[in-house]
Amino acid sequence: MKAKTRTWALAGLGLVALVGLLAGVKGGQIAAMLKAGKRFVPPPESVSSTKVRAEEWQSSRAAIGTLVAVRAVTVGAELPGTVREVSFESGAAVRKGQVLIRLDTSTEEAQLEAAEADASLARINLDRATSLRQAGSNTPADLDAAQARAKQAQAAVDSLKATIAKKTIRAPFDGRVAIRQVELGQVVSPGTPIASLQSVHPIHADFWLPQQALADVRPGQRTRMRTDIFPGASWEGQVTTVNPEVDVATRNVRVRATFANPDGRLRPGMFVNVEVLSPERRPVLVIPATAVLYAPYGDSVFALEEQKDGAGKATLVARQRFVRLGERRGDLVAVTSGLSAGETVVGSGAFKLRNGAAVVVHDELAPQAELAPRPVDP
């Protein structure tokens, strides 16, 4: 019994010794890891750098507009009739007075011949009555009746000529016609639309600005227009009309600018971006928009500072700076406070930095920030 107890005691002591040995080894490993962690220095992050530039930006007001034709009308029939001639093609350019549609006028032309014959006879009777009156062979009433009859006959001729003219439908001004809405042989009634006619050179752009713009915007002010349909093009124009009333629901004022459109690329109804340019230029500090870290508690950038490490070697360190931003144009954004001209900040790669992080600058692959970028399709 004593031998068995001694065996269990020795086994327990051995187990305790083993646990103690394992605990000591593990403790040594943890201590070594803690010591190595204190000595560990994270490698510097790769970023690109940029300078805070002082520039002058022309003050402008941006708006979204819609193109409107200078003159636009839906050409229609004034009188009923049957289409006998179509003299234009859909989408063609037409000149003022050009014939678009001719309606059947055979009935009116026949009536016109009879009316002209009647008018000719009335003139002959008038001449005869005048001669007789001069000779005293008729009464003044006979002469008056002959004059009235001659005028009535001529009025009937003029009325038929006017009817025939109205059945020849002409372009009221120079422009481009839309898709035609009538065909040869179709019977039209008064008001039947034939085609839309638009005058597109020059062309208007209508847009809305807040009521505060009334202090700055004037007729004759220079404007610039762009559209996504032609991304590489822009048009220069000027403000022609500022609406005299402000919309009571939105407190915005409607503005109209006019642009030259000799090639006809701009079409009524197109969506455009309009800038109203001010003659004054103001100084601004600009940085690439990629340099900014946007956050609800405030926007910030990382400024690059040079400092020496423990070995006396110079390294670059990123220091976080909170900034206030202004207007954004293209790839650039204006900084109203927080930076000074000439300072070096992280241009791209700021999202992976922390305050005081060591960095290494690689500008060879940095994207070029432009005021008016023009993306290139692959």
Q: What is the CATH number of the domain that holds 140?
A: 2.40.50.100
Share of the chain above pLDDT 90, in %: 2
Q: Looking at the structure, do residues 214 and 65 belong to the same domain, yes or no?
A: yes
Neighbours of 70 (CB within 10 A): 16
Whole domain around residue 253: which residue ranges? 61-69+197-281
Q: For residue 37, what pLDDT band results from cuts at 50, 70 and 90? A: low
Q: Looking at the structure, do residues 207 and 256 belong to the same domain, yes or no?
A: yes
pLDDT digit string, tens, across residues 142-153: 777 778 887 887
Residue 40, in any domain of the structure: no
Residue 112, in any domain of the structure: yes
pLDDT digit string, tens, across residues 208-263: 988 888 888 888 888 888 888 888 788 888 989 888 888 888 888 899 999 988 88
Average pLDDT over residues 12-40: 68
Average pLDDT over residues 267-284: 84
Q: Looking at the structure, do residues 74 and 189 belong to the same domain, yes or no?
A: yes
Q: For residue 2, what pLDDT band results from cuts at 50, 70 and 90? A: low
Where is the domain boundary, 159, 194, 229?
A: 194
| Count of structural domains within the chain | 3
Whether the pLDDT of residue 311 is over 80: the answer is no
Average pLDDT over residues 84-109: 81
Rounded to whole angstroms, the Cα distance separating 339 from 286 reads 10
Residue 377, in any domain of the structure: no
Residue 346, in any domain of the structure: yes
Q: For residue 322, what pLDDT band results from cuts at 50, 70 and 90? A: very high
Residue 23, in any domain of the structure: no
pLDDT digit string, tens, across residues 116-173: 888 788 788 777 778 777 777 777 787 777 788 878 878 888 888 888 888 888 888 8
Whether the pLDDT of residue 301 is over 70: the answer is yes
Rounded to whole angstroms, the Cα distance separating 285 from 271 reads 32
Q: How many CA atoms lie within 13 A of 118 on its CB side?
A: 15
Please, what is the angle between helix 106-135 and helix 140-166, to 10°?
160
Q: Looking at the structure, do residues 188 and 203 belong to the same domain, yes or no?
A: no
Residue 7, in any domain of the structure: no
CA nearest 373: which of 280, 278, 290, 271? 290
